[in-house]
Amino acid sequence: MSRLDGKVALVTGGSRGIGAAIAKRLAADGAKVALSYSSSPDAADAVVAEIAAAGGEAAALKADAGSEEETRSLVDETAARFGGLDILVNNAGIVRMGTVDSASLEDLDRIYAVNVRGPFVTVQAAAQHLRDGGRVINIGSINGERALIAGMSMYVMSKFALGGLTRGWAHDLAARGITANVVEPGPIDTDMNPAEGPMADRMTHMVPLKRYGQGDEVAAAVAFLASDDSSYINGATLVVDGGLIA
Ligand code: NDP
């Protein structure tokens, strides 16, 4: 028996980066996994194929996290396809850079729509399907603890908001034994934050372990929170950052 045998998981933004690593890890631990994408169908299909080749079960579903309609359909379709829902991972997220002088309201609205409103709608929709003892796991950021560099205020806002929602949901869902926790990665080598270039050198220097993390290392933390081993952890923040904000 694997520790997530019989469980159904939904990972938003599972086509690339951290979300793809989470989808593969939850499937390897025995869960049936639905993963969403917005603009990378080939990458999403490749993740599904890799899971299937390893003996797991997965499906890729298109849904823009900024669309209420698509998000509600995503959740309903996942539950219908796999029979209910046990684990929701709100991973889909975007970055928009801009200082006080240069940031646009369009970027502010979009980052709010995808990084904050998206998870809110997903959890509202998932609450109808999540079985007792379920898990809500949000992928925040160390930018949800403090601002590290200029130009990140909109992203920082969104990740603080996600941390706040997590703490509220820890109360809202607790009566059914459903926990809500937030995982806050530091710099992780993905398309969003590649481990090469001047910015990466600066970030690496700030990390006590002197390297970027890998998606698998975030996925391991998510797998723990998804499992029965985390049964008394609720409303918590699990930082996966090589010691950056220590
Ligand atoms: P990537 O940009 O590498 O991947 C983003 C994933 O989210 C893709 O699968 C993408 O799918 C999906 N996605 C993006 N926008 C949407 C949308 N509107 N609707 C649905 N899916 C969407 O990012 P990471 O893997 O690096 O980041 C994943 C999460 O981790 C984000 O929430 C991010 O904020 C957070 N994070 C990342 C860190 C890092 O250093 N990389 C550090 C801390 C937190 P598609 O290609 O189909 O659009």
pLDDT digits (tens, 9 = 90+) for 183-223: 999 999 999 999 999 899 999 999 999 999 999 999 999 99
* Ligand 1 centroid to residue 175 C-alpha, Å: 31
Report, as ranges of residue numbers, the positions in the chain whose pLDDT lies below 70. none
* Ligand 1 centroid to residue 216 C-alpha, Å: 14
Give the residue whose CA is nearest to atom 39 of ligand 1.
188
DSSP per residue over the chain, as a string?
--TTTT-EEEETT-SSHHHHHHHHHHHHTT-EEEEEESS-HHHHHHHHHHHHHTT--EEEEE--TT-HHHHHHHHHHHHHHHTSEEEEEE---------TTT--HHHHHHHHIIIIIHHHHHHHHHHTTEEEEEEEEEE--GGGT---STT-HHHHHHHHHHHHHHHHHHHHTGGGT-EEEEEEE-SB-SSSS-S-SHHHHHHHHHSTT-S-B-HHHHHHHHHHHHSGGGTT--S-EEEESTTTT-
Give the pTM: 0.99
In this prediction, residue 1 carries a pLDDT of 77
In this prediction, residue 207 carries a pLDDT of 98
In this prediction, residue 106 carries a pLDDT of 98
* Ligand 1 centroid to residue 143 C-alpha, Å: 14
Report the pocket of ligand 1 as residue ranges, CB < 6 Å: 12-19, 36-40, 64-66, 91-94, 114, 139, 141, 185, 187-188, 190-193
Catalytic residue among 112, 155, 212, 232: 155
Mutate to test the pocket of ligand 1, among 10, 12, 22, 37 (most ligand atoms within 8 A of CB): 37
Residue 212 a catalytic site member = no
In this prediction, residue 119 carries a pLDDT of 99
In sequence order, which residues have a C-beta less than 8 Å from that of residue 67 and are 6 or more positions away? none
